[in-house]
Structure 1
Amino acid sequence: MNVTNPKSCAMKQLTTLSADQLYQRASLDELEFSTTQELDHDNYRFVGQERALRSADFGIRIKQNGYNIYALGPEEVDKRSLLENLIEKEAKKQSVPDDWVYVCNFEDEQKPIVLKLKPGDGIRFRDKMNRFAEDLPNVLTSVFESEEYQNRRQVIEEKVKEKEHEDFTEIQKKAEEKGLSIVRTPMGYSVSPVKDGEIMSMDDIKKMSEEDRKELEQEVHNLQKELQKILRQIPEQQRKIKDERDELNREFTEYAVKGLIEEVQDEFEYNSDVVSYLESAKKDIINRAEQILNPAAGNPLMQAMSGNKPDKTTSPSDHPVLWRYTVNVMVNNAKLEGAPVIYEDHPIYNNLLGRTEHVSEMGALTTDFTYLKPGSLHKANGGYVIVDALRLLTQPYAWDGLKRALMSRKLKIEAPGEMYGLFSTVTLEPEPIELNVKVVLVGSRLLYYMLCAYDDDFQNLFKVEVDFDDEMDRSPETQKMYAVMIAGMLKKNDLQPMKKDAVVRLIEHTSRMVSDSEKLSTKTNDILKLLQESDYWSRKEGGEVIDLKAVETAIEQVRYRSGRLRDKYREQILRNTIFIDTEGEAAGQVNGLSVVSLGNLVFAHPTRITARVRVGKGEVVNIEREVEMSGPIHSKGVLILSAFLGARYALDRPLSLSASLVFEQAYGGVDGDSASSTELYALLSAIGDIPIRQSIAVTGSVNQHGDIQPIGGVNEKIEGFFEICNERGLTGDQGVMIPKANVKNLMLKADVVEAVENDEFHIYAIESIDEGMSLLSGMEMGERDENGNYPDGTVNHKVAEKLARFASVKKQFTTQNDQAELHASTKDSK
């Protein structure tokens, strides 16, 4: 059988990392300045976001439908500020968009009409129409009180009276000729017989002969019919007169408002929609002239309230009729220079898409077009609106409303309940406004990918992905750019200038923020927070310039404020409540390193990891997994251990092992594979009964080939173990073993670097399990010879020997068990 030889396991003398490898210092020697005031920072920009800047520039400039922007990245990056700066620069180059107003639809008040006007004309049109409505009652009053109007109206009314008089005179004459008279009673007109100039009584009528009485009754009946005919003509004549009077009113009203209308039309003759609206307004005024002059007419309640006198102090918007001729300005761009840029910080449905307000009048809710209120999309129409994606998605109906507006490219004001048919009530149906807006959503990466996966419309509406990075390459050039950015941020936020050595320290700290000595953080919110706190500590000490001490204090105070849990955990270790050995040796026991992340707190602490072995079926039991305290990544790491053991030690025999692994005194969940190498060391130690140095803590993940892979939180892990060792007293034998691939991530605290420099603490960088096990045990790993055997006294020999013994025991036990079962079966058959 061909066996792949493992890596050479000859004992190698591993050297610790030097102090220079633990902390990469920054240099600004090429930049001449003593404080940031001397740097040219007027046009500073956030550095390290070239991809995002190019994507944003594309998204801002492209005019096609659906090319809205989603800016994704960590919350600590001030995505909004960067985008606002870019958008505002582009918006200033663009033309100012039109104004939008709503006016009354005189044919259907429930469906207000929208008008588009030149920028600034919305306010002018409103003011003109307000003045028009204010002047209208006075103009109408003067016209209707004129001598010409009164004379013509008198002629019309006298014509009615004259006609009625002629008709009654003629029938009265006929009545007198027949000895009758037309008498007016409370019940109307009646015909009565007359004798000697007086109306005959019933007694006189009874005294008449039968023939005379019948003749009289016939005469009365005939005259009564004539009288009824005349009376029936009176309402018709009155209607004709009313029509003539109404026509007279229309004639004089049109004459009165013609000048007012033309005055407004002359101002806005360029807009045919406005001209058409004014013509409709004129017709409405002609039909409502009497209501305008006497709004309480025909309304008993208003008559009682007003004493039937028009209130000349009432504004047009409060007048029962004149409000119809006012203007509701939805968008006023008079003061804009370029396209609008709006940030909506509370993106509820109404704030985005507008709303219809209502007013209570005598127990009923009423509304009209003057109660239409604009949303952010109205104000940003023709420009840009920036919205926080998470806030938008957590507001009922807001996301669906925004999508509907973007897809239809129209803004329609409606209540969310009506949109979904939840309730129906009398309300307005305003004419939609044409929508031309660029929406910029700002949110997390997770939210972006979820929208891509679960919302079919999202990628059609937000085609531009602006992905902000949280780190950038560190080089002399980028460090100079970083210094200029810091100077700009200090100036913009009215903070004290900063000394050069303080800038250098801050740049170094940003590498620590991303746990990479070759990178710099682009998390501008975190950087600004540190600048603000450095400014505070500088001012507290009476300084006028932020110096190195202020920056160091700010960094330390951030750590101190969030460090209660870290200190409590360290106290439990130092008081031996949590068992951690930092000296001596033990088999099947290794100090692993765990990272805790809670809010702003990120720290690491040592954790004892132990292993126990026995004869079994080749299983490695993850106790955390059995009690459901293990995450999937940690469980995966444990399964890899079985693969490694089988490949190295069980190529020609079964792996007859049952092992258990546990994080001792771990009472929360465990996840991640950074402890998988530690668990493997504990397993190898337990199998071979090989003592492990407790003065060295271990971190690193392992693959099936035994290669040590990089992990996260390497700085915190080293410092977590160092602090325990330092409190107990450094012996010069203590240290931490990390993956070699993590050396570039080291940006350790000054006290750790100093201890390494003084040879009091050590940090080892390894590439394989063989190197790590040799360091921990002080033994050579041993290399398999051509017969498949390992040299005596090596780690591999001890492990292989123990596993061979386990296999032999299992085989012997299985054989005995099979013989016993066969004997029992034979006995039963007899």
Structure 2
Amino acid sequence: MTQTLPQPLAPHQLYRVCDPDSLSFTTTAELADSDAPIGQDRAVEAIRFAIGMRHRGFNLFALGPEGTGRRSLVMQYLTQAAARQPVPDDWVYVHDFGDGHRPRVLRLPAGRAQPFKKDMEWLVEELAAALPAGFEAEEYRAKKQVLEQEFKERQEEAFGTVGTEASEKGVALIRTPVGLALAPTRDGEVLSPDEFKQLPEEEQARFKAEMEALQEKLETTIKQVPYWEREARSKLRELEQEVVAFAISHLMDELKDRYADLPEVLEYLEAVAEDIADNVGDFLESDDEDEDHSKPRRRPGGEGAIRRYRVNVLVNNADQGGAPVIYEDHPTQPNLIGRVEHFAHYGTLITDFNLIKGGSLHRANGGYLVLDAHKLLMNPFAWEDLKRALKAREVRIESPGQSTGLMSTVSIEPQPIPLDVKVVLIGDPMLYYLLSHHDPEFAELFKVSADFDWRMDRDETAVMGLARSVATLTRKEGLRPLDRSGVARVVEHASRQVEDSEKLSTHMASLADLVRESDYWAGRTGAAVVTAAHVQQAIDASTYRQDRVREHVQEEIRRGIVHIDTESAVVGQINGLAVLELGRFSFGRPSRITARVALGKGDVVDIEREVDLGGPLHGKGVLILTSFLAGRFGQNWPLSLEARLVFEQSYGGVDGDSASSTELYALLSALADLPIRQSLAVTGSVDQNGTVQAIGGVNEKIEGFFDLCAARGLTGSQGVLIPATNVAHLMLRHDVVEACRQGRFAVYPVHTVDQGIELLTGTPAGQRDERGEYPAGSVNRRVQARLATFHRRLDLAQSGALSGGRETRGGR
């Protein structure tokens, strides 16, 4: 059976045209706006499922390449769902009068947090006026004066009794700088110590006995004074509380009426009223000159103390029309879970509940939080604290320094807030799979994945969907509409982006940029509508801005600095094709691959691999072609060759198996001693059976060799061999397609190595007959014969060495 020689591909196989006449509009201005996603049915279904699942752990990870519209699509569906959901409650922090270091959190219906804050500010302002007025009232002053007078009279009466008894016994009660004292008298005059010593001893003894008895009564009376003072202060405090109660009762009653439906707020207001009564001095002006102390004494730091009656609004949903949808662009740990700020006070950092700041988890509570997965993982503590919040279903504000014990400032421990939020992470597929593999908690918390595809089928529905997306973009951004030819060229470029004539790219970001750039070039020419020529100009201009390196590579080949032959025929030498990627720009680069064979032990040496320039995939390809040789030519005797393969003038790493068929052709050429046409270049991998397999970057590889041939002059004999399975991926440049149409260049689809070697050498590959022999003169027959010669020579050499060894031993 003979191999069918591949024929050059027809122009329509090299580029799938989108016929403008097949589009049912004249310009995109006729098309209605559409925000419906195209080509992402699987991802849309996952998003809807995640939104609908309210159970624990069904958070969403949207994975896919950047630019496929992951974030915009997620935000679109979340916003639609959130609009149908109730507005979540407001959250505020207030002072806990029982434990000042643990601020209390209050939950209020949506829109009532801010009014509550203003009501408390109003209360403090009213108290600042009402309380001083109450303590300045005549009634309070009169009652206080009565209490003070009662205490004074009681004290005077007690000491007066002692003084009267002392006077009856000739003893005086006198006041000294250190207090009250007893002294003997005569004729109403207090005796000096010397005068007392001159008295008879009996009289001195009498005075001493009477003074001792009076001293006991005096001390008893003095001990009663503190009790009387406490009693007086208690009565005064009761009076002050009566004044406070009277001053604030109507104010508190008004507030309680407003918040009668909120038991937690009523409980807090009761605590406020009690604290105000206990600390009324905080609301009064300093009165150092008021000697009669007619008002309660102001405590130090009173103005700062009034801060405890304020309300810190953490979440205010007054303006929400549904559940919140929050995108956190900078997901640091404080931005996620909140923070407690501090201020300097006498060289020390201190804080209170007013300095508690909410995070995006607080703002998204009751709704949806969208995060960039890569940014989240790049911020210390953010990922772990997010997982902790989702698992505990509460947000606990705690700084990293506080949690690790590194913070020594005075801080607080706010009560945690219950959490009900759906979190959406957006990231690359590799990040999703790494988290799934290395983080056991990830699968528990993010049970839904929305897998965004990077391509979609090129059918009528997708084409029209793309056209409507273009129409929506042009109207939204004020761009010129595209006519049918312009849309058709965008469709063709979308196929080129995914290297598949039967698919379209879903990378909407790059397609949108193409539309914007096309609008720019249309504006340069004063056109009212963007046509295919403007789109092509935008593509060409984008390529020109990025292809400096490609031009330099081509120039080095044209000048002979890098040797690539495109005319002669050489044994063991072939033109391979590789793709270089520089950012988003990629281009094909021809490479010269050579093979040398000699007598050996069946080794095929990959020089790139030996010097650590070849990657594992390239090494795998070399091992596969070694297996092919052994399977085809090593059935009757072992391979007795040593072959060496190398990419000539290659100074960087080589990886991938797309050159394995190319290397096999060079090796077969060297073994058969048949020259290979250098006007042809080759790409494609090979399996152990000699089947040529598809590779990536086929368009760039063909165009890279075409550019070199075109620069040297197209002769009609030049072309590229590609795997037949890559034909569906062809979306070549127009100049390449035109050259093929004119017969000046060719692209050959190859199914097997035998087809390829026949094209390259012009010699039939040859098929085995019933006896297992290849036809005389065929490539396979020449290879088989060469390997048989190697085997015989090796066998003879080994036999001679063994014979010589026996003679030597015998001579000894």
| TM-score, normalisation: structure 1 | 0.94
For residues 51-78 of structure 1, the C-alpha deviation after alignment (integer angstroms, 9 at most, x for no partner) is 1111111111211111000000001212
CA distance in 2, matches of 1:296, 1:112: 32
Shift of residue 422 of structure 1?
Answer: 5.0
Tell whether the 8 Å contact from 2:134 to 2:243 is kept in structure 1 after alignment. Answer: yes
Q: Are the counterparts in 1 of residues 661 and 686 from structure 2 also a CA contact under 8 Å?
A: yes
The C-alpha deviation readout for 1:609-630, integer Å capped at 9, x for no partner, is 1101011111110111111111
Are 1:293 and 1:310, in contact at CA under 8 Å, matched by a contact in 2? no
1:796 is matched with: 780
Q: Does 1:761 align with 2:740?
A: no
**Partners of 2:480 and 2:306 in 1: how far apart?**
59
In structure 2, what is the equivalent of residue 251 of structure 1? 242
Within 2, Cα distance between the matches of 1:705 and 1:621? 20
Amino acid at match of 2:27: T
Give the aligned residue type for 2:804. A
Aligned to 2:144: 153
Asked if 1:14 corresponds to 2:10, the answer is no
The residue number in structure 2 matching 1:704 is 688
Paired letter, 1:283: E
CA distance in 2, matches of 1:598, 1:585: 33
Identity among equivalent pairs (%): 46
Query: Cα–Cα, structure 1 residues 750 and 240, in superposed 2: closer, same or farther, change >3 Å?
Result: same
Contact 1:295 1:320 in 2 (8 A): no
Letter of the 1:741 partner, please give it. T
Q: Does 2:468 correspond to 1:468?
A: no
- Cα 1:621–1:167 change in 2 (3 A) is same
Distance 2:299 2:205 in 1: 59
Match of residue 81, structure 2, among 87, 90, 112: 90
Give the whole-Å Cα distance in 2 for the aligned partners of 1:246 and 1:310.
Answer: 15
Residue matched to 2:15: 23
Structure 2 residue aligned with 1:234, among 218, 221, 225? 225
**Structure 1 CA distance, aligned partners of 2:474 and 2:805?**
85
Structure 1 residue 786, shift from structure 2 partner: 2.6
Is residue 553 of structure 1 aligned with residue 553 of structure 2? no
The corresponding residue for 1:165 is 156
Match of 1:64 in 2: 55
The answer to whether structure 1 residue 737 and structure 2 residue 721 are counterparts is yes
> Conserved in 1, the CA contact under 8 Å of 2:38 and 2:465?
yes
Q: CA deviation at 1:267?
A: 1.1
User: Are 1:75 and 2:59 an aligned pair?
Assistant: no
Match of 1:262 in 2: 253
Alignment of 1:505-544 (within 5 A): 505-544=489-528
Cα distance in 2 for residues equivalent to 1:337 and 1:733? 70
- Matched residue type, 1:135: E
- The CA deviation at 1:92 is 0.5
Per-residue CA deviations over 1:141-164 (Å, capped at 9, x if unaligned) read 122222222222121111101111
Return the match for 1:32 from 24, 28, 43.
Answer: 24
**More displaced, 281-290 or 733-742?**
281-290
Q: Which residue of 1 aligns with 2:182?
A: 191
Task: Give the aligned CA root-mean-square deviation in angstroms.
Answer: 1.9
What does the per-residue CA deviation read over 1:145-204, in whole Å, with 9 as the maximum and x for residues that have no partner?
222222221211111011111122222222222222222121111122233443222332
Instruction: Give, in whole Å, the separation in 1 of the partners of 2:346 and 2:242.
Output: 37
SS at match of 1:515: coil
Q: Secondary structure at the match of 2:632?
A: helix
Contact 2:350 2:409 in 1 (8 A): no
- What per-residue deviation string (whole Å, max 9, x for no partner) do you get for residues 325-351 of structure 1? 111111111111111000000000010
TM-score between the two structures when normalised by the length of structure 2: 0.96
Tell me the SS of whatever aligns to 1:733: coil
Distance 1:66 1:295 in 2: 58
How far has the Cα of 1:720 moved from its partner? Answer: 0.3
1:680-736 alpha-carbon deviations (Å, 9 max, x no partner): 000000111110000000001100111110100000000000011111111111111
What is the CA distance between 1:822 and its match in structure 2?
A: 2.4
Say yes or no: does 1:695 pair with 2:693: no
User: Structure 2: how far apart are the matches of 1:28 and 1:54?
Assistant: 32
Q: Which residue of 2 aligns with 1:453?
A: 437
1:30, distance to aligned residue in structure 2 (A): 4.6
- CA displacement at 1:640 relative to structure 2: 0.6
Q: Deviation string for 1:530-580 (max 9, x for gaps)? A: 222222333334444333333222211221122111111111111111110
Contact 1:129/1:326 (CA < 8 Å) preserved in 2?
A: yes
Residue 216 of structure 1: CA displacement? 2.2
Q: Which moved more, 1:264-273 or 1:529-538?
A: 529-538
Match of 1:333 among 317, 324, 335: 317
Alpha-carbon distance between aligned partners in 1 of 2:117 and 2:348, rounded to the nearest angstrom: 28
How do 1:549-628 and structure 2 match up within 5 A?
A: 549-628=533-612
1:303 aligns with none
User: Quick one: distance in 2 between partners of 1:794 and 1:174?
Assistant: 150
- Conserved? CA contact 2:282–2:306, under 8 Å: no
SS at match of 1:100: strand
State the shift of 1:232 in Å: 1.7
The residue matched to 2:21 in structure 1 has which SS? coil
Report how far residue 214 of structure 1 moved.
Answer: 2.5
SS at structure 1 position matched to 2:747: strand
One-letter amino acid of the structure 2 residue matched with residue 772 of structure 1: G
* Mean Cα deviation higher: 336-345 or 496-505: 496-505
Q: Does 1:124 align with 2:115?
A: yes
CA distance in 2, matches of 1:372, 1:439: 23
1:221 equivalent in alignment to 2:212: yes
**How much does 1:443 deviate?**
0.2
Shift of 1:421: 4.5
Local SS of the residue matching 2:160? helix
Structure-1 separation of matches of 2:275 and 2:9: 91
Q: Report which stretch shifted further, 510-519 or 259-268.
A: 259-268
Pairing 1:413-428 to 2, within 5 Å after superposition: 413-422=397-406, 426-428=410-412
Name the stretch that deviates more: 248-257 or 52-61.
248-257
Q: Which moved more, 1:418-427 or 1:205-214?
A: 418-427
Shift of 1:787: 2.7
Question: C-alpha distance in 2, partners of 1:773/1:141?
Answer: 107
1:292 aligns with 2:283: yes
Structure 2 distance, partners of 1:521, 1:89, is 26
Aligned to 1:660: 644
